[in-house]
Amino acid sequence: IVMQYAKQGSLRKLLDSKYNDLDWNFKVVILYYIADGLNTIHEAKLVHKDFHSGNIVNENMFSSFITDFGLCKPVSQDSSSNEVYGALPYIDPIVLYKGGKGYTQKSDIYSFGIIMSEVFNGYPPYHDILHDDKLSFKICNGLRPEIKCKVPQLLLDLMNKCLDAEPQTRPTAKEL
């Protein structure tokens, strides 16, 4: 695969290096581009399955591209795997609970909600908690990232809808 060079690196790297310089306009724009990319994936009837800030790259401060489609599958392809893949903090609790089964487009929406929390806070979700079975259990029981800054209520409401325990109540990528 050949792609253009992403000068700013991953979203995670961008947040690490420039978070204090980012205003809400920038945060909304970057989330918009990420949501637009996710919508393109979902309109193609695909599920990404490994959607996190390390798999989002930025050519410049205002353009984001979703990468790493190694686990991406068609919506119609049922997962027969009994293994959970991806970065634990971003994995849908339903997938954790079902031991790797149950990935849907709504799982990607959950991951987007976690990415929103990361953009708001500037640091990775659960950065201060060991990423182990105990964290998986806590996520399945409703643990969500704590937002430690002032966030516009509209964005907070959208993030919480994305992180809803009931996948059917989460928005679609198009609605984002």
Instruction: Please list the active-site residues.
Output: 50
Tell the burial category of 169 from Cβ atoms under 10 Å away from its Cβ (0-12, 13-18, 19+): exposed
Residues comprising the chain, all counted: 176
Tell me the C-alpha distance between 173 and 70, whole Å: 20
| 73-74 and 46-47 beta bridge pairing | antiparallel
DSSP 154: H
Residues 6+ apart with CB under 8 A from 153: none
- Chain Cα centroid distance, residue 101: 18
